A and B are shown apart, each in its own frame.
Chain A
Amino acid sequence: GAMGGSASLIPRDLLGEYQELTFLSKQEILLAYKRFSELLPKEERENACSARVPKSQILTLPELRANPFQHRICHVFSTSETRDDSMSFEDFLDMLNAFSDSATSDIKSYYAFRIFDFDDDGILDRKDLEKLVNCLTGQGEESRLSSAEMDQLIQNILEESDIDKDGTINLSEFQHVVSRSPDFASSFKIVL
């Protein structure tokens, strides 16, 4: 059926290479290929391996459309030279790899850090944390914490995770606090 058809479109050695370089199984890679080529217009589906899908198309995927971090995810995993956050098939696989069940917690926490780092400066400071909490509670005026609550919350977060007390969370502090978080592995997961 559809599975057999798409298998003939990914060359065997490329499939093996993807299996070696990611944590995804063969079935997952084939399913990813199928879903990726569905995002392309019909003419380009033959060259799905080398095509780029614009961000607006990627965001129509059900796994991403309800996600408040959708823009950050596209930005982090995109390797587009033109900075338009478009994704190639390999970027798509990288994304699924980071969110897969069998990915190591190192990889997950690294990418989580990149996703939460809204201003891309390599550390999570107060502004990043504020934007993060606002993403969690939803867009809209009535669904935000008051500024006093926000300050109290960020204070608590920094108390728990900022080990060197410099007012920001760097990668190792983030990885440390996330390794002790029991919910992280089960929530940071996307399976097609």
Chain B
Amino acid sequence: EEPPGAAPVDFLRELPSCQSVRRRRGGTQERRPALLGTATAARAPQPERGEMADRPAREHPECMAEKRRIRDFQQADMEYLPKWKKWRTTSNKSLKKALDEVKGLSSYLVLWRRDIHSIEGKFGAGIQSYFSFLRFLVLLNFILFILMFSFVTLPIIVSEYGIFNSTVAYISPKNIEDICTVYEPSGNKGLVYFYTYLNDLLSGTGFLEVTSLFYGYYTVDAVWISIMRYNLPLAYLLTTFAYLALSFLWITKRSAEGFKHNLVHDADPFQSYCNKVFAGWDFCITDPNAARLKHRSLLYELQTDLQEEKLKQKIAERTTKEKLRICSLRIFINIIVIAILSGCFYSIYRITVFSQENSNVSIRNDTRTDVNLLVQYLPSMVITLANFLAPLIFSFLIKFEDYTPAFEIKLTLMRCVFVRLANIVVLLFSLWSQISDCGADKCKPCGYNYKLYPCWESDVGQEMYKLMIFDFIVILAVPLFVDFPRKLLVTLCSWKLIQQFGHQEFEISDNVLQIIYGQTICWIGTFFSPLLPAIATIKYFIIFYIKKMVLIYTRKPAARPIRASSSNFFFLVVLLIGLLLAFIPLGVSIARIPSSKACGPFMNFNTSWEVIPDKILQFPTGLQQVLFGMASEAFAVPFFVILCIIMVYVVALARAHKRVVEQLREQLVMESRDKMFLIRKIAEAQRH
């Protein structure tokens, strides 16, 4: 058909849709050709009047003088409104003003506002999203700490100082074999060497074991505050659920806001060219060097994407023989990956068992000075080594699998995430295999290996504590001993080899995975060690400044640009995966493994979970029946069926909407062709 640009262009300028864009300030109309000038000039301001009323003046994309005019018009119109409407509009306005004031003031309270702003100006929004993420984690951990502290530790501290006439009722063992309750933590035994203190600080044993840092301290049945009874075991369990739920809701809310994924259209919004071109430039960059780097990375990204598109076409044209070859190659490489992973998990299991055996033996023989710190930290070291080697091996292997570059990056990332999170789970399960090691009647009276682990929750807490401390040490040591010397070498020594390999990029994904790994440890460990979020808060606080220094002094520009929105989404999704993964070990230890009978708030219960059914049995009968009814099958099955029906309905609705959108799009194309045709006809008619 006729090419679209063939119609005379001046007609197009008359159209109302064009006029609404080109409305100049002060109403300069001289661009219009003389032909339809007078008719349209009279008509143009009219639609303005109608749409003015529903939006406040500041939402109109006009210059200040125009906005003043609009506001005056709106105020004049308001005179004719009924009294109650006037009152409502004025009160809305004053409410909005008050909210704006509060927002303005609260922006001062935002942590690190200036630091992140300067990072954004110098390095762009992609790297800034990493630091915003760190800030979010500091806040999250701080809130978790406040939660755990105020509901679990504070009542005990209050009662120790006797404030409000409070007393503590310690748990007296009921129906428990005496042998299960033997637990002698070696707390302060008088004069000890300073070396022992350091040892204890780093491994959570000794004097730390009896503090409120670990589970074993909370052997409290209730706290009496004047005449009110505060049920500590119930509070402990419910606070655990509360902090997990709070983390889940906060992360979900954060990943939902600022990311509006339109599910109607099929295209991937992150990969779209329009996103890269129209939203490609970070307007917040203030540094000319950063701007130059941004130009380069945008050029690189656009070229890579265009090449990738050509590659995709080539892939689609592959012969069946080629496809078979590549498929078998991929299966082979995946088998290698699985083999590597299994080797990794098995070594973690063996090392954990070895470390536990050796530390326990020395404690039993009371030769505590022989406890080798190295042996204690062996599991942490192996996990950190595995986390370091896995990305290197995976990025080497994936080159053979012949994927498109974008997919390569995604797949390697997914594999690294899996390795990091699975390592923690494997460590925990190997610990549990030790604790529940019931061969040769080792756990007959108590349900768990009471001789080696009289207070097993504290032991698990200690392992989590060690993991966290070691992670922190590694994050401190790597910049000090690797990054800064490397940068020094590169600046001082001008050999070509060093120049090529010495430069180091600020790898966002690696850094993010590292802190998510730390956060997962914190979530799992808080049940066993209630004050762990405080340590995590301090840790992330210090990490912010360290990473900022590393960035400023040693960073080399990354070739592949990092997009802020996809990074944000990626961080939060992986964080969510970490949280959901944390549910598993916690669920198992709360509900399945018998709680230790020698320490802790759940001494008199079979498992930690039993506090809740115990409490429910004390409720009035009506409420009890309702609650038990909700947990039974008679409720669950219809509930599940109703959920399925709702989901099917929503999916059908979405599909219907999609069909309508496609039809409307086709209609628009038709209308545009009609418009061109009519304009051409008019032009022809005018010429005759």
- Residues of A bordering B, CB below 8 Å: 17, 19-23, 25-28, 62-63, 65-69, 77, 79, 81, 90-91, 93-94, 97-99, 102, 104, 106-107, 110-114, 116-117, 120-123, 129, 132-133, 135-138, 143-145, 149, 152-153, 156-157, 160-161, 163-167, 170-172, 174, 177-191
Determine the distance from Cα of A21 to Cα of B291 in the docked complex, in whole angstroms: 32
B441 within 8 A of A: no
* B676 lies within 8 A of A182 (CB): no
B278 touches A184 (CB 8 A): yes
Name the CB-closest residue of A to B295: A138
User: A20 with B295: in contact, given A122-B21, A156-B273, A189-B284 (CB under 8 Å)?
Assistant: no
Docked complex Cα distance between A160 and B287 (Å): 32
* Nearest 10 interchain pairs by C-beta: A138-B295, A25-B104, A164-B672, A66-B291, A182-B565, A90-B64, A183-B279, A184-B279, A110-B61, A137-B299
Residues of B within 8 A of A (CB): 4-5, 12-13, 17-22, 25-26, 57-59, 61, 63-65, 67-68, 71, 97, 100-101, 103-104, 107, 117, 121, 125, 258-262, 265, 267, 269-270, 272-275, 277-288, 290-292, 295-296, 298-299, 302-303, 306, 309, 563-566, 569, 665, 668-669, 671-673, 676
**CA separation between A25 and B6, bound complex, in Å?**
49
Expressed in whole angstroms, the minimum distance between the Cβ of B517 and any Cβ of chain A is: 26
Query: Least Cβ distance of A173 to chain B in Å?
Result: 9
Complex: chain A residue closest to B258, CB-CB: A185
Q: Which residues of A contact B12 (CB under 8 A)?
A: 123
B556 to chain A, nearest CB (A): 19
Known contacts A20-B58, A161-B274, A165-B4; decide if A187 and B566 are in contact (CB<8 Å).
no
> Is the CB–CB distance between A181 and B269 below 8 Å?
yes
A138 and B5 contacting across the interface, CB-CB below 8 Å:
no
Q: In the complex, which residue of chain B has the Cβ closest to the Cβ of A77?
A: B63
Q: Which of B21, B58, B65, B303 has a CB less than 8 Å from the CB of A22? A: B58
Pairwise interchain contact A181-B275, C-beta atoms closer than 8 A? yes
Contacting pair B103 A21 (CB below 8 A): no
Across the interface, do A66 and B566 meet the contact criterion of CB distance under 8 Å?
A: no
**A36 smallest CB distance to B (angstroms):** 14
B120 to chain A, nearest CB (A): 8
Is B283 within 8 A of A166, CB to CB? Answer: no
Q: Compute how far the CA of A25 lies from the CA of B564 in the bound complex, rounded to whole angstroms.
A: 25
Q: Is the interface of A mostly helix, strand, loop or mixed?
A: helix
Q: Are B279 and A178 in contact (CB under 8 A)?
A: yes
A91-B278 contact, Cβ under 8 Å, with A163-B668, A165-B669 = no
Given contacts A62-B286, A114-B21, contact A145 B299 (CB under 8 A): yes
**Of A21, A62, A157, the contact of B277 (CB 8 Å cutoff):** A157
Q: Known: A184-B278, A187-B281. Contact between A143 and B299, CB under 8 A?
A: yes
